[in-house]
Structure 1
């Protein structure tokens, strides 16, 4: 009687199909889940003094444009006020006007740099709506391309981003400087 392990009857997947490296996910996994841990990242990043490190693309008087560290798609931007406020009605008139102007500028920047076919642009207000940091409103500006959704997010619960955060920041920042 043969006591050795049973032989594998199926053909293993190729090495490239067995592993999907999503290095960008580890900072998200390790990030504090309690909003009180580490403070408000939207406030903290504006005080660092290193816009490239924090992926801040453009600073206005009341608001700024930053790359989303946990993007839904390549080039996913956030537009938000420096001041921590949870609702649009909490903004001053000047803050609201500049916020809208920077949302338009974010779309224009992405159009120049990436030539998307469309955008998903919007806010999530409150925990129930999916706001990750409900105390600090922020507008998502997500570039979309025809056919950019495939089986990975649906079946694999994984997003595939074709460029690193640093390379994307350089590309977008170059379009701001060239304007």
Structure 2
């Protein structure tokens, strides 16, 4: 097994530049492949209320603001898939205060900048929130916004045939890269 960063070959076929988020490496997704899907509601509490009370490395928190925080999605669609969450337990965007709304928006922009800096820049982003279970929210009781980086060709046969999404990086490694790339206030 090779140690060190994974690289892409240069024109001569020799090791080249590290490829950021583009490798296929998904050991954490085996719970999905095996069909043993853990509940996003560990215990009886809200995971988005619990995360700020844990160390950042354990909760996958990337940045803490005054009223909101950015955390990696535990079950990401793509590497760098972040969630922007208010600390306050509210279900609807309309429930946010003006201060929370401003920071929610600012952290969304900062998330994009961090992913761009850490990954070399994806081809695009999906940004949005699902309010209510009927809209597809996995944790409907606590508002959160998804910031999902997208690359050309990132949707292939595997999500359809294997009902899983291959991710090229472990969450801890992604978190470290995003923390290092997070823009200064």
Q: TM-score, structure 2 length as denominator?
A: 0.78
| Superposition misfits of 4+ residues, deviation over 4 angstroms | none
**Structure 1 residue 31, shift from structure 2 partner:** 2.9
2: CA distance, partners of 1:88 / 1:105: 19
CA contact (8 A) 2:26 2:166 kept: no
Which of 66, 83, 93 is the equivalent residue of 1:61?
66
Q: Deviations over 1:75-96 (max 9, x none)?
A: 1000010001011111111101
SS for the counterpart of 1:131 is: coil
SS for the counterpart of 1:134 is: coil
Q: Which residue of 2 aligns with 1:119?
A: 125
Q: Which residue of 2 aligns with 1:7?
A: none
CA contact (8 A) 1:32 1:38 kept: no
Q: Which is richer in helix?
A: 1
Q: Which residue of 1 aligns with 2:106?
A: 101
2: CA distance, partners of 1:67 / 1:36: 16
1:31 aligned to 2:46?
no
Q: Deviations over 1:12-59 (max 9, x none)?
A: xxxxxxxx97433539945347x59430011111112x1111110111
Unaligned runs of 5+ in 1: 1-19
Q: Which residue of 1 aligns with 2:134?
A: 128
Q: Which residue of 2 aligns with 1:90?
A: 95
Question: How big is the alpha-carbon RMSD for the aligned residues of Structure 1 and Structure 2?
Answer: 2.3
Q: TM-score, structure 1 length as denominator?
A: 0.80
2: CA distance, partners of 1:178 / 1:83: 24
Q: Which has the larger radius of gyration?
A: 1
1: CA distance, partners of 2:38 / 2:92: 25
Which of 81, 84, 87 is the equivalent residue of 2:86?
81
2: CA distance, partners of 1:29 / 1:144: 27
CA contact (8 A) 1:119 1:142 kept: yes
